[in-house]
Amino acid sequence: MDAAPEIESSPDAGPSQLPANGLVAFVKRDCPTCELVGPVLAELAAAAKTSASPLTVYSQDDPSFPEGLHPRDDRELAASWRNKIETVPTLLRLDDGRETGRVVGWHRAEWQELTGVTRLGEALPDSRPGCGSLSVDPARESQLRARFESGRLSARRVQLAELEDEFELAHERGWSDGLPVVPPTERRVLDMLEGTERDPAEIVATVPPDLVDCTVEKVAINAVMAGCRPEYLPVVLAAVEAVCSDEFNMHGVLATTMGVGPVLIVNGPLRRRINMNSGVNVLGQGNRANATIGRALQLVIRNVGGGRPDGVDRATYGNPGKLGLCFAEGEEDSPWQSLAVDRGFDPSANTVTVFTGEAPRTVVDQLSREPGSLARSLAAGLMGVLHPKLGFFMDAMLVIGPEHARVFADAGWGKQQLIDRLHELTTVPASEMSRGTGGIEEGLPLPAEMADQPVGKFVPGALHLVFAGGGAGLFSVVIGGWLNGDAGSRMTTREIGR
């Protein structure tokens, strides 16, 4: 139930359209500064009788205040909302329908300059701050936005029958990923759109597999359904742009029978502003931003693009991360530069990187205290991606934990040095990957004459290193990828805008 107070309609409410010329004041009785400037407004009303600057007063809470000035009733706050009144008293000057000046609060010199009336309010103090406008009252603002800005929205409205349950409706109509979704009411969608400066009608991307143009508004609707806060919306928008690019190939990611999906890694100062998790339980539950940003992206693919299981989505198993897998890199504690910097962005930039990945798997090494031994453990874990005898054509991400990273940092190993060593350690004689060797028919179709030649598990550039995880526990995590390059999906990064 909505706890905000309902705004009552007044049968004699005045029009919200301001006059084309003159002075306009916004006040409320429940404001000491408005009470203070009552006599000043009376002076301006009197002066208006002999000038070309008539005075119009809008009262937010009492249509009889100020007495004798015949104020317009703005208890519905339409005029205050549409004219972005944040403080009362506010005095505007209008010329030919255009605002040419504004004074907030009481400041004698500014009021005199704006009105052209000298010796104004001489009995009053020189200045006095105003009070918050009722139109920006947190208990009313969301409701007012829904009343006065619903025209910004173009999405089809769905009417519910009196006894129809909105949560069950979402499941019945196929809008859900299997979990309950937040009903995307006009009010909630408009609140979500406050998280971005982008126009609701702007097309963000063409979403596969149905190749449907997706607007900012449609992304906001799905972000509401996922449980996002408005400040997460720019991250979701950037993620949608990234996965809908040719390089990421979202259609292919959906159509493969492998259980992969988008994995989102967020870098930059924004991570902290929206309280993302990069530490304890970083790939698990419990953090709203991590959980809902990835989910919002998946809902856009499902609800806008039509990418649904047993449709174009042909995954044999899928994985729990396809509900949404998103986390922040722990840049502050990392001994190395971030993933975003690796990919050519400035450390101050806010970015989201999307990687096609399967479910995370843990690599345990609680005994290695020198980098050579630990690198071998990590390489052994990486060899298991997809199958120990398959290589060349997939990516992998290594999410290295603080205690493992410390082993390398204390020995002076940089990130690239570790990646190079992992490539060396995952390069084996062709005979170890050939079909049929070791009594395993699976493997690479390598000719017998290559038996002694080295074969790399990963091609250069296919191993990605990210720092994240809790401070206790000698663990790291491998997230296996999918086909890399033109035949599959490339890791893609987009800067997060406003």
Query: What CATH code is carried by the domain that includes residue 103?
Result: 3.40.30.10
C-alpha–C-alpha distance, residues 47 and 50, integer Å? 6
Q: Are 297 and 264 in contact (CB under 8 A)?
A: yes
**pLDDT < 50 positions in the chain:** 1-14
Q: CA-CA distances (angstroms) from residue 451 to 119, 277, 430, 434?
A: 99, 46, 5, 8
Q: Computed from CA positions of residues 149, 155, 161, 163, in that sequence, does the dihedral angle turn out positive or negative?
A: negative
- Judgement on whether residues 86 and 213 belong to the same structural domain of the protein: no
In the block, tokens 């006894």 appear at 163
The tokens for 416 are 């690239």
3-class state of residue 2 by DSSP: coil
- Judgement on whether residues 113 and 219 belong to the same structural domain of the protein: no
User: How high is the pLDDT of residue 50?
Assistant: 67
Position 174 in a domain: no
3-class state of residue 58 by DSSP: strand
Domain that holds residue 108: 22-136
- Judgement on whether residues 208 and 121 belong to the same structural domain of the protein: no
User: How high is the pLDDT of residue 271?
Assistant: 96
Total count of domains within the chain = 2
Predicted TM-score (pTM) of the model is 0.86
Contacts of 322 (CB under 8 A, 6+ apart): 259, 261, 298, 315
Closest CA to 358 of 256, 281, 287: 256
- Judgement on whether residues 126 and 205 belong to the same structural domain of the protein: no
Q: CA-CA distances (angstroms) from residue 213 to 5, 62, 203, 204, 237?
A: 38, 48, 6, 8, 13
- Judgement on whether residues 395 and 261 belong to the same structural domain of the protein: yes
Last residue within a domain, chosen from 136, 165, 194: 136
The tokens for 417 are 């040095």
User: How high is the pLDDT of residue 9?
Assistant: 32
User: How high is the pLDDT of residue 450?
Assistant: 86
- Judgement on whether residues 192 and 123 belong to the same structural domain of the protein: no
List pLDDT tens digits, range 277-295: 999 999 999 999 999 999 9
Instruction: Give the distance between the most distant pair of CA atoms in the chain.
Output: 105
User: How high is the pLDDT of residue 161?
Assistant: 86
Q: Is 275 left (phi over 0), alpha (psi -120 to 50) or beta?
A: left
